[in-house]
């Protein structure tokens, strides 16, 4: 018959468990300390790199993108307001903050024309005209929209087929509305009820979806085609299709 441990044995067992726990806590503390040291070393290296290549980061969009990607991969967000050193070294945070304001301004200025759906390349062209002589890329606008996202829902990038649209509509696009826009994007910027019926929609569903787009100002109405009672044109999408060869050569 196995003897039960005595009081002395229980005390020794408890002391061993306490010792194991202390060793584990020390190992965790050592790991945390090493991680902090590695992070400080990495931030110092990034700071040195940023200082050395400041002019190129601010003037070369592709190099700026690579730098930002490198920072994020290292766990340092160059757009975060808590990382003041990036503003001190580069003005990177301020650069994107200013750019985000201009992106929002473009969305607001063109909303009456496009209902809050602005092609990203068209926005880039407009912002470039507002900042002559400054090299900007689509990735810069994407990061600027990330800055706006920190303020809450309002402006976002939406993929519609091959196009990227800046969406600044007051409400989130419903499933049917999004499908209408995607179909229009695949058809040069226009869509009609017959297009939706060919996709298997009912007449009532198609009419309701198009009426919603018209009511919200997302599209323009064209009744001049004798073969089609009503076309819905999404202006920013249509213009982007027409200007695509030119914009692709200059982007």
* pLDDT tens-place string over residues 15-58: 666 665 666 666 666 566 666 676 667 767 777 776 677 777 76
Euclidean distance between the first and final Cα of the chain, in Å?
Answer: 85
Q: Which of 85-99, 117-131, 136-150 has the highest mean pLDDT?
A: 117-131
Between residues 84 and 148, which one has the greater pLDDT? 148
Interatomic CA distance for residues 142 and 97, integer angstroms: 12
Q: Rounded to an integer, what distance in angstroms lies between the CA atom of residue 80 and that of residue 82? A: 5
The mean per-residue pLDDT over the stretch 123-143 comes to 87
Q: Looking at residue 66, what is its pLDDT?
A: 78
Residue 233, token pair as written in the block: 């044109």
> Token pair of 54, please?
């400041």
d(CA 207, CA 187): 18
Tokens of 113: 């024309």
The answer, yes or no, to whether residue 251 has pLDDT greater than 50, is: no
Residue 143: count of CB within 10 angstroms of its CB = 20
Burial class of residue 124 (count of CB atoms within 10 Å of its CB; 0-12, 13-18, 19+): buried
List strands edge to edge, sheet with 220-222: 190-191, 231-233, 220-222
Residue 96: predicted pLDDT = 78
Higher pLDDT, 43 or 223: 223
The percentage of residues in the chain with a pLDDT greater than 90, rounded to a whole number, is 19
Full set of structural domains in the chain with CATH: 95-250 (1.10.10.10)
Q: How far apart are alpha carbons 84 and 48 in whole angstroms?
A: 15
Strand order through the sheet with 163-167: 117-119, 163-167, 156-160
Query: What distance in Å separates the CA atoms of residue 152 and residue 117, rounded to the nearest whole number?
Result: 18
Residue 204 predicted with pLDDT over 90 = yes
Vertex 214 angle, CA 209 and 216, to 5°: 95
Instruction: Report in angstroms the alpha-carbon separations of 146 from 79, 88, 96, 136, 227.
Output: 9, 21, 9, 16, 44
Tell me the per-residue pLDDT of 136-146, one tens digit each, with 9 for 90 and over.
889 888 888 88
Helix, strand or coil for residue 119? strand
| Entry pTM | 0.61
């Amino acid at each position: 018959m196995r003897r039960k441990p005595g009081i002395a044995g229980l005390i020794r067992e408890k002391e061993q468990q306490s010792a194991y726990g202390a060793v584990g806590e020390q190992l965790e503390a050592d790991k945390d300390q090493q991680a902090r040291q590695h992070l400080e070393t990495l931030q110092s290296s990034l700071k040195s790199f940023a200082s050395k290549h400041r002019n190129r980061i601010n003037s070369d969009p592709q190099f700026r993108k690579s730098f930002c990607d490198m920072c994020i991969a290292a766990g340092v967000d160059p757009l975060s307001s808590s990382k003041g050193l990036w503003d001190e070294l580069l003005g990177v945070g301020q650069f994107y903050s200013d750019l985000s304001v201009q992106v929002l301004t473009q969305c607001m200025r063109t909303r009456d024309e496009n209902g809050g759906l602005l092609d990203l390349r068209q926005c880039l062209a407009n912002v470039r005209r507002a900042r002559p002589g400054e090299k900007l890329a689509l990735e810069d606008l994407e990061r600027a929209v990330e800055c706006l996202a920190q303020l809450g829902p309002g402006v976002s990038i939406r993929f519609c087929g091959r196009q990227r649209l800046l969406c600044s509509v007051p409400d989130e696009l419903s499933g049917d509305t999004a499908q209408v826009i995607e179909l229009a994007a695949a058809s040069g910027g226009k869509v009609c009820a017959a297009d939706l019926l060919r996709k298997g929609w009912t007449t009532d569903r198609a009419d309701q979806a198009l009426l919603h787009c018209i009511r919200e100002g997302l599209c323009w109405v064209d009744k001049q085609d004798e073969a089609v009672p009503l076309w819905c044109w999404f202006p920013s999408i249509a213009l982007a299709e027409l200007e695509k060869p030119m914009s692709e050569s200059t982007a």
